[in-house]
Amino acid sequence: MAIEKMLTEEVPARVLVAQVLAEAGIEYVFGISGGHTGRIISGLSQHQNQIRTVLVREESLAGVMAEVYGRLTRKPGVMIGQGPWVLGNGLIGTLEAHLSSSPMILLTDFSDAPHFQLHAPYQQATGDYGSWDARRAFGGITKHVMQAQEPLAAVQATQLALKHALAGQPGPVAILFSHDSLAGNVGPDAAPALYPTRYYLPPAPPPPDSARIAAAAERLLAARTPVLIAGNGVRIAQGYAQLQQLAETAGLPVATTAAGKGTFPETHPLALGVFGTFGTAAANACLGEADLVLVVGSKLSPSDTAWENRKLLDPTRQSFIQVDIEPKNASWTFPAEEVVLGDAAQVMAALCEAVRSRANGRRDAAEQRVAAHRMAQGYFDAAEYRADDKPILPQRVIGELMRNLPDNTIVTCDAGENRILMTHFYQTKMAGGFLQAAGSGPMGFGIPAALGAKLVHPDRPCVAVCGDGGFAMTMNGMMTAIEQEIPIVTVVFNNNALGWVLHGGGPFAAEFNDFDHAAIARAMGCRGERVEDPARLGPALQEAIASRQPTVIDVRTSLKTSFADITSPLANEASPRRR
């Protein structure tokens, strides 16, 4: 059957850019109209039944919401706005997408003034003398940069950006539109010809090589004490079910990286929690005794591996099998004896089938190993979960979250010491229930991440956990929650300080005044409650979830616990700071 052309009549380029997004199944565009991209916003107004344009109060919110949308759906999240501010304010979401391999599209512009490029007009980003170079700037933080100088290219660049954002290892792609590219029309006889967007979307990843699967399966079955490491690649592949099936069938204890936390329920009898620098002692002990390590969707960063401490991971005494969609990631940190390239969900499903008939008894043995390590090392059983200290200990706050949030809640974390404490102490109960910016770790991530997650999963409660520093950066996200009717709950660890900085180097330039963030929230139109009594926190959480309204719970928290208290001895002894 012949491929049809995209157009039968002349159409404005700005409308066609919006049409391309609709054809690709994009459901949301996040951002602020500015510069030449206002024309695209005008085009989006003609597709309101297919694409919801979410107006935010600052570009950093749009960037994070787009990144989270891409990470949770396998479809590119789309951020729109004027070039300088998409680059500057929107950087945290773009950088996180780049480092965490989330598909994302940046619709932005050169802010150029036609015919005056060489005279340095206001805000211009073409790279000419007296202007800044948008292509170079975006090139350092994205997978690829497209530029469109005329209407036809505006449409093709959008189609190709979708392709590049999704192909292979996903990532962010920027499109830089000139004034002229969005000001004209495109007709059916334009050359090169335009074709429907579906032909530009990459096909499903090819199935993994059967010989590689067979070889990996043999090694798994021969191992006595194997452990599976699950990274963020499992989330990108939406491979939650396949991960659990493989672990149960092959008898594999599961440890996750910090970025992979939430891909496997930590209440499962095969779960070890996060491993590495801020991981659980049980995870580190079980990994340390492993004779084989199956790594799925992780680059194994230094913080994951406790600065590559050989007591934890060591290819001279352990065999490694690595699963990744990007060949460059394979054997990057540790040499792997078996490498299986492909989509994580597909590879895990194939491995599960390859071992199924010969894996009798392995699950029971693996669960016994996990139980023994939990018993010896402790596992989400800190006494401080019920401590009555005032100000409230972070562990008590986390304990109340665990006891009072519904099992299907999605918790998003900000950066700083609060995130490290949540990574270590918060026990996830359901796959997909925890999300953090572990690629770049920016402050100001938690609130927009919860907004994005709630749009993707409107049926699941979404709770942002942040410090008072991170809340101050993006508390305008609660205005977006009100305006866009996105009922998230934000819990603020309010200790009047940048905890990580204070505990790492002292109080200089690390302390804040005492602000009532709940009162600020109420002034915006949200529900808000300040909690100083630990007994009140559980009811406050239950009421916030039941209200289905944007809510801020400002918790007066103690500085008594620091990140140093939960840093693994393995990381302390291997840290380059000690050398």
- Separation CA 17–CA 455 (nearest Å): 23
Q: Round to whole Å and give the CA distance between 398 and 402.
A: 6
pLDDT at 438: 79
Q: What is the pLDDT, as a whole number, of residue 579?
A: 47
Rg of the chain on CA atoms, in Å: 25
Pairing of strands 551-556, 527-531: parallel
Strands 11-12 and 185-186: antiparallel
Q: How far apart, in whole angstroms, are the C-alpha atoms of residue 491 and residue 169?
A: 33
What secondary structure letter does DSSP report for 427?
A: P
For 481, residues 6+ apart whose C-beta sits below 8 A from its C-beta are 451, 487, 488, 526, 550
Rounded alpha-carbon distances, angstroms, from residue 366 to 17, 342, 371, 428: 52, 26, 9, 20
Nearest CA to 394 out of 414, 424, 438 is that of 424
User: Does the domain spanning 210-377 belong to CATH 3.40.50.1220?
Assistant: yes
The enclosing H or E element of 10 equals none
Q: Count of CB atoms within 10 A of residue 289's CB?
A: 13
Summarize pLDDT for 412-439 with one digit per residue, the tens: 999 999 999 999 999 999 999 999 997 8
In angstroms, the CA 237 to CA 552 distance is: 32
Give pLDDT, residue 1: 67
Q: What is the pLDDT of residue 245?
A: 98
pLDDT at 358: 95
Please write down the HEC assignment for all residues of 53-108: EEECCCHHHHHHHHHHHHHHHCCCEEEECCHHHHHHCCHHHHHHHHHHCCCEEEEE
Cα separation, 166 vs 506, whole angstroms: 44
Asked if residues 130 and 117 have their Cβ atoms less than 8 Å apart, the reply is no
CA torsion sign, 8 to 10 to 15 to 21? positive
User: What CATH number does the domain located at 11-199 have?
Assistant: 3.40.50.970
Question: Which of 473, 433, 464 has its CA nearest to residue 541?
Answer: 464
Residues 6+ apart with CB under 8 A from 216: 294, 321, 338, 340, 351, 354
Gap between the Cα atoms of 266 and 270, Å rounded: 8
DSSP 430: S
Per-residue pLDDT of the chain (579 residues; tens, 9 = 90+): 688 999 999 999 999 999 999 999 999 999 999 999 999 999 999 999 999 999 999 999 999 999 999 999 999 999 999 999 999 999 999 999 999 999 999 999 999 998 888 888 888 999 999 999 999 999 999 999 999 999 999 999 999 999 999 999 999 999 999 999 999 999 999 999 999 999 999 988 899 999 999 999 999 999 999 999 999 999 999 999 999 999 999 999 999 999 999 999 999 999 999 999 999 999 999 999 999 999 999 999 998 999 999 999 999 999 999 999 999 999 999 999 999 999 999 999 999 999 999 999 999 999 999 999 999 999 999 999 999 999 999 999 999 999 999 999 999 999 999 999 999 999 999 999 999 997 888 999 999 999 999 999 999 999 999 999 999 999 999 999 999 999 999 999 999 988 888 888 888 888 899 999 999 999 999 999 999 999 999 999 999 999 999 999 999 999 999 889 999 999 988 777 654
- Is residue 531 within 8 Å of 555, Cβ to Cβ? yes
Q: To the nearest 10°, report the CA torsion of 572, 96, 165, 475.
A: 150
Quote the DSSP letter at residue 560: S
Q: What phi and psi values does residue 557 have, to the nearest 5 degrees?
A: -110, 155
Domains 11-199 and 383-566 share a fold: yes
Q: Which two tokens stand for residue 170?
A: 């996903």
Q: What is the dihedral of CA 300, 305, 309, 314, to 10 degrees?
A: -50
SS (H, E, C) 312-347: CCCCCCCEEEEEECCHHHCCCCCCCCEEEECCHHHH
Distance CA 281, CA 275 (A): 8
Q: What region, left, alpha or beta, does residue 405 occupy, with left being phi > 0 and alpha being psi -120 to 50 degrees?
A: beta
Report pLDDT digits (tens) over 131-182. Answer: 999 999 999 999 999 999 999 999 999 999 999 999 999 999 999 999 999 9
Look at residues 279, 284, 286 and name the one whose alpha carbon lies nearest to residue 258: 279
| β-pair type (338-341, 254-256) | unpaired
Helix (H, G, I), strand (E, B) or coil at 568: coil
CB 172 within 8 A of CB 79: no
- Check residue 182 and give left, alpha or beta (phi > 0: left; psi -120 to 50: alpha): alpha
Cis ω for the linkage preceding 391 (within 30 of 0): yes
Three-state secondary structure of 516-549: CHHHHHHHHCCEEEEECCHHHHHHHHHHHHHHCC
Assess contact for 110 and 178: CB atoms under 8 A.
Answer: yes
CA angle 76, 323, 356 (to 5 degrees): 115
Q: Look up residue 4 and give its amino acid.
A: E
Rounded to 5 degrees, φ, ψ at 357 are -75, -15
Cα–Cα distance measured from residue 83 to residue 2, given in angstroms and rounded to the nearest whole number: 39
Confidence at residue 577, expressed as pLDDT on a 0 to 100 scale: 62
Burial (CB count within 10 angstroms: exposed 0-12, middle 13-18, buried 19+), residue 73 = buried
DSSP H or E stretch at residue 144: strand 144-148
Q: Which two tokens stand for residue 517?
A: 């963030």
Q: What is the pTM of this model?
A: 0.96
Provide the b/e sequence for 302-328 (b: ≥16 CB within 10 Å).
bbbbbbbbeebbeeeebbbbbbbbbee
Listed by start position, the domains of the chain span: 11-199, 210-377, 383-566
Q: CATH code for 383-566?
A: 3.40.50.970
